[in-house]
Amino acid sequence: MNQYEPVIGLEVHVELNTKSKMFSGSSADYFSKEPNSCTDPTNLGLPGSLPYINEQAIEDCMKIGLALNCQIADVSRFERKNYFYPDLPKGYQISQYRWPLCKNGWLEVEDKDGNVTKIRINRVHQEEDTGKLTHTDGQTLIDFNRSSVPLVEIVSEPDFHDSSQVRDYAKKLQQIFRYLGVSNADMERGDMRLEANVSVRKIGETELPNYRIELKNINSFRFMVAAIEYEIKRQIEALEKGEKLTQETRGWNENKKETFLQRSKEEAHDYRYFPDPDLPEIRMEESRVKSLESGMPELPEAKVKRFISDYGISKANAQILVDSKELANYFEKTVEDGKDIGVSPTDIANYIINRKVNIDEVKPKQVVEEIANRKVGVVEDEGEIEKVVDEVLMENEKSVDDYKNGKTNAIQSLIGGVMRKTGGKVNIETVRRVLQEKLES
């Protein structure tokens, strides 16, 4: 069974969180709104309506492209992808095919053994979402609120060879979207959607297999990994039996833990792409790309490297801490607060990760104090603490004066002084109480 190698490519769709639609002015904030209440003539595809490009969406798409090391095209065009489906009001989707906005990028992924591989990204292009169908007995209900919400598609080359790489890639993309602030990238809500093209070939072969199975409509990373693993096995078994595999689209049945056929090759589309005559082309000057690039936040990959080198924490911890921009910022704020009282970044990293600190509720200062208090060999004798407090009070007249003049914040630096003198081996609350008693007496 081991003489086969999977060949996997990924198409990722991400819905942008712009205020208005991709090509018109109605609200793009459609989630849980009344059906057909966020529409206008353009995204309903009414006769006579016309599209107008949303600049924010184009910038967001370029940011994603830049984050994925793509080239931004000098000339880019929107095209029409023609097909009929009740959720597609115009009978075509405005998308990009021959002239995508961003192309030839890459992203490094890690497999389960920690091996790093560069996945080539063919393109990052801009398009629009469809409406939403609800199937009830014999009828299909259509809500066009989601119609024409900006959607970015990221198409990889078939460079993945196992499901753990796919998982890492998807996670990293999700992180990037969130760092850039371009999408919530929530899989369950459908902000982010994955499609995998899976086939297998004999090890040693270099040509792409002459078929591929598209896995679609799978709304979690976990299910996608399971579906890919199932497919690899199913395909190898089929080939071993001498069966011929052909192009088809399959979905994932979580109850049965197996993939199932959705559409076969005979129903393949002919999209008849051509440049959308309603939309002038996009020409990106280098200066504009540069200024966009310089305004981008530090991305997870760079942050991990910096955390390791600046704070001396482990790679594993760094990766956990950069999981979200908020957590990474929290960590850095805590490190800053910890400096005064000698609490090390490593201790802070371990504490935040092991205790699963709720960053919305616990203040960085509290974390620092907690860590300080947990130090071994805590001095509990109040007499000894008082002695140190007295010393600190003598040495910090300015802070004492500040405190007495109403700047009660000054107590923080006095606490810090006590912590330093005792190597952090005192209970912060005791120190605070003793200090307050002495200052207010």
Compute the least distance from the CB of residue 247 to other proteins, in Å. 14
d(CA 360, CA 348): 16
| Closer residue to other proteins in complex, CB, 56/324 | 56
Compute the least distance from the CB of residue 39 to other proteins, in Å. 5
| Closer residue to other proteins in complex, CB, 45/342 | 45
Compute the least distance from the CB of residue 22 to other proteins, in Å. 10
Q: Which residues bind other proteins (CB under 8 A)?
A: 18-20, 24-28, 34-41, 44-58, 77, 80, 82, 84-87, 89-92, 133-135, 138-144, 249, 262-263, 270, 272-283
| Closer residue to other proteins in complex, CB, 53/308 | 53
Length of the chain in terms of residues written: 441
| Closer residue to other proteins in complex, CB, 65/89 | 89
CA angle (188, 191, 192) in 5-degree steps? 85
| Closer residue to other proteins in complex, CB, 55/207 | 55
Q: How far is CA 312 from CA 110, 336, 405, in A?
A: 21, 14, 40
Compute the least distance from the CB of residue 49 to other proteins, in Å. 7
Sheet holding 248-253, edge to edge: 71-72, 102-110, 116-128, 150-156, 4-15, 192-202, 213-218, 248-253, 258-264
Compute the least distance from the CB of residue 135 to other proteins, in Å. 5
d(CA 66, CA 59): 10
| Closer residue to other proteins in complex, CB, 4/274 | 274
Q: What is the dihedral of CA 201, 204, 210, 211, to 10 degrees?
A: 20
d(CA 175, CA 328): 12
Q: What is the dihedral of CA 99, 101, 106, 107, to 10 degrees?
A: -140
Compute the least distance from the CB of residue 233 to other proteins, in Å. 24
Q: What is the dihedral of CA 90, 92, 95, 97, to 10 degrees?
A: -160
Compute the least distance from the CB of residue 295 to other proteins, in Å. 16
Compute the half-sphere exposure of residue 118: CA atoms within 13 Å on the CB side of its CA.
7
| C-beta of residue 318 within 8 angstroms of C-beta of residue 307 | yes
Residues in Cβ contact with 302 at an 8 Å cutoff, skipping those fewer than 6 apart: none
Compute the least distance from the CB of residue 76 to other proteins, in Å. 10
| Closer residue to other proteins in complex, CB, 39/174 | 39
| Closer residue to other proteins in complex, CB, 275/342 | 275
Compute the least distance from the CB of residue 75 to other proteins, in Å. 8
Tell me how far apart the terminal alpha carbons of the chain are, to the nearest angstrom: 81
Compute the least distance from the CB of residue 292 to other proteins, in Å. 14
| Closer residue to other proteins in complex, CB, 27/373 | 27
d(CA 227, CA 389): 63
Classified as helix, coil or strand, 247 is coil
Instruction: Using alpha carbons, select from 78, 89, 82, 12 the residue that is nearest to residue 269.
Output: 82
Residues in Cβ contact with 432 at an 8 Å cutoff, skipping those fewer than 6 apart: 411, 415
| Closer residue to other proteins in complex, CB, 280/423 | 280
